[in-house]
Amino acid sequence: MTDIPSAQRRLMSLDVFRGLTMASMVIVNNPGDWGAVYAPLLHAEWHGWTPTDLVFPFFLFIVGVAMTLSKGTLGPWGRILRRTAVIAALGLFLAGFPRFPLATWRLPGVLQRIAVCYLAAVCIFRATVGRGARNDLRHAFRLGCWVLGLLIGYAAVMLLIPVPGGGAGDLSPAGNVGAFIDRTLMGNHLWQRRPWDPEGILSTVPAIGTTLLGVVTGLWLRAEVAASRRVVGLVGGGVALMVLGEIWGLGFPINKSLWTSSYVLFTAGAANVVLAACYWLIDVRGWKSWAKPFVILGRNAITLFVLSGLLTKVLITIKVAMPNGTATSLYRYLFLTIHAPLLAPKNASLVFAFTHLLLLFGVLSLMHWRRVFLRA
């Protein structure tokens, strides 16, 4: 097969990869009981990684890949800025819902980071596209230089610049440079009012690198080479990035909350490998029947994210009486009365998360059937 994906063609494998990522996000974010969760479905406590730590960087990586397959990336700035503003506004809305407390309203967040990374990646993509005939390999090289600069610069700041009242190279939750910047600029507007935020200001810089590595992969996917060579390139590049990430991690540990440079390389490598598998199965071998549910989830990814967040917050906000007369959230009530009596604690918690996903899948299936695709 030598079919060449063009900037106008929508890759089904990318939709499936996005859908798999979003399904994972819903499952890990909505257990029935946070005290009964299988270890792979929890984030690493600090340094290190679990499968859950791959979810967010995978989505940013996908944003980068999709940029190369969209005309909008080189389109009017108004559309790009509008999309950025809508995504950020949705993130701020979710952070404040349902009470919108002005004194502690969280300013950073997942959607806010996606918005910033998207805008920054578009700017860098357009600035490095070059003049004359399109040359994706040269473009990819220039983007790679940007990534390297961002990651080295971030590592230098985190490891060499001392925090006032502390020393240089402190990578603890409260003692690192990024946490100091977040506390100084945003005060009580951080995640759960902690002294650090996993989507803070400084750590957004290497997250832009994650998005740009997705762009580089997208340029490779549209290169005029045989599909089999694309797969080999994705796997080979992915494994190389994972190895480099592990090596860099010896001095600057893999850490999702700090979004360390080693974490960027490792997760982008893993994303390449997973995308290669999806691309080979779907676009090369043509095995598509299994993938339809993930296409449905992937085509309305932002809608799924917002609906999932709203559903969880509504269920937590509504209070109901337990049989013993005590009050609890509707979220907790549904778990304790429906799921917990039937299964062991961790299995019940996992089934609750899948129930949450299936409910949302039903909504998105109806939207897909009616050809309703909500985009920023």
In tens, the pLDDT along 46-69 reads 999 999 999 999 999 999 999 998
pLDDT higher than 70, residue 325:
yes
Let me know if residue 5 belongs to a domain.
Answer: no
Residue 309 lies in a domain: no
pLDDT of res. 346? 97
Q: Which band of pLDDT confidence, cut at 50, 70 and 90, is reported for residue 4?
A: very low
Q: With bands split at pLDDT 50, 70 and 90, how would you rate the model's confidence at 74?
A: confident
Q: Would residue 216 count as lying in a domain? A: yes
In-domain check, residue 369: no
**Other CB atoms within 10 Å distance of the CB of residue 149:** 11
Question: Mean pLDDT throughout 241-256?
Answer: 98
Residues 6+ away with beta carbon under 8 Å from 270: 54, 58, 238, 242
Does residue 364 sit within a domain? no
pLDDT category at 6 given cuts 50, 70, 90 is very low
Considering only CA atoms, give the Rg of the chain. 21
pLDDT at 322: 86
User: Average of pLDDT values for 221-236?
Assistant: 92
pLDDT attached to residue 7: 40
Domain extent, residue 129, equals 43-286
What is the overall mean pLDDT for the chain? 93
Which of 8-17, 222-231, 265-274 is predicted most confidently? 265-274
In a domain, 104, yes or no: yes
The pLDDT value recorded for residue 183 is 95
What pLDDT, on the 0 to 100 scale, is given for residue 131? Answer: 78
Within a domain: residue 265? yes
Q: What is the mean pLDDT of residues 207-225?
A: 95
What local confidence, expressed as pLDDT, does residue 206 receive? 98
The structural domain count of the chain equals 1
pLDDT at 132 over 90: no
pLDDT tens readout for residues 326-337? 999 999 999 999
Q: What is the pLDDT of residue 220?
A: 94
Asked if residue 314 is part of any domain, the answer here is no
pLDDT digits (tens, 9 = 90+) for 151-205: 999 999 999 999 988 889 999 999 999 999 999 999 999 988 889 999 999 999 9
Single pTM value for the model: 0.94
The average pLDDT across 356-376 equals 92
Residues 88-109 have a mean pLDDT of 95
Q: How confident is the model at residue 9 (pLDDT cuts 50, 70, 90)?
A: low
